[in-house]
């Protein structure tokens, strides 16, 4: 365990935590809505077991995503999706899907609602975290993902209001998070097997240049889209 912590890619861990906080804020709302009809003495159980089920399911999905990113062209597709997710983070659409979340009348139904809703809403988290995990040693990737999720989920569930207030007070937090997604996307796309099999390993300078370009592209496109919507 000590060796695992010492050799862990802490930069990737920090990225995973930031990604999950920024993209997982809605999960806290879903949990609250799913448990709102439960008796007071069952709400904590619903929150805990629903969150545990969601974490387990997400780890499984990310494990598949990490493996699939080794298939040619999938990093390009995943990177493109991450770029779009980053743009939407800067310029979110005026829509709210929480109204479709029904509160469970029993503990099991609330837990099921949390897990299913988290599955539907977590595609962005899965792609982004899988991309961040690619930076780590292959033997540590899943362990890194699990560690990052374990740290970030309690922050989302119990500290979501504080996180949301920080985001409202410091909008640059969201912009920086979107830039991080663009950074991961740029690095992911340029290391796709379809590219490296033709031109060889990507030099570090080229990798970081593409990462910076991805971050700048997300921020620029997001701000442009936000201004257009504001002027509409």
Q: In percent, how much of the chain has pLDDT > 90?
A: 11
* DSSP type of residue 100: G
- Find tokens 């837990």 and name the residue: 111
pLDDT tens digits along 219-231:
999 999 888 877 5
* 49-62 mean pLDDT: 79
* 5-15 mean pLDDT: 70
Q: Residue 202's CB: how many other CB atoms inside 10 A?
A: 17
Angle between helices 172-190 and 123-133 (to 10 degrees): 60
CA distance 165 to 230: 22
- Report, in angstroms and rounded to the nearest whole number, the Rg of the chain calculated over CA atoms: 18
**Alpha-carbon dihedral angle through residues 214, 218, 220, 225, given to the nearest 10 degrees:** 150
């Amino acid at each position: 365990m000590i060796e695992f912590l010492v050799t862990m890619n802490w930069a990737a861990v920090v990225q995973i935590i930031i990604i999950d906080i920024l993209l997982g804020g809605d999960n806290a709302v879903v949990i609250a809505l799913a448990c709102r009809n439960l008796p007071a003495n069952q709400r904590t159980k619903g929150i805990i077991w629903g969150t545990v089920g969601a974490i387990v399911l997400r780890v499984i999905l990310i494990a598949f995503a990490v493996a699939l990113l080794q298939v040619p062209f999938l990093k390009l597709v995943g990177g493109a999706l991450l770029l779009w997710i980053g743009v939407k983070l800067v310029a979110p659409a005026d829509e709210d899907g929480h109204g479709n979340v029904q509160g469970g009348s029993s503990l099991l139904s609330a837990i099921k609602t949390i897990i299913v809703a988290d599955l539907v809403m977590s595609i962005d988290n899965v792609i982004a975290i899988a991309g961040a995990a690619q930076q780590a040693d292959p033997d540590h990737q899943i362990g890194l993902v699990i560690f990052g999720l374990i740290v970030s989920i309690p922050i989302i569930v119990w500290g979501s209001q504080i996180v949301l207030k920080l985001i409202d007070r410091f909008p640059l937090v969201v912009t920086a998070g979107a830039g991080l997604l663009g950074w991961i996307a740029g690095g992911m796309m340029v290391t796709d097997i379809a590219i490296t099999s033709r031109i060889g390993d990507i030099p570090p300078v080229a990798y970081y240049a593409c990462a910076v370009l991805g971050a700048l592209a997300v921020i620029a496109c997001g701000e442009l889209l936000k201004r257009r919507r504001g002027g509409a």
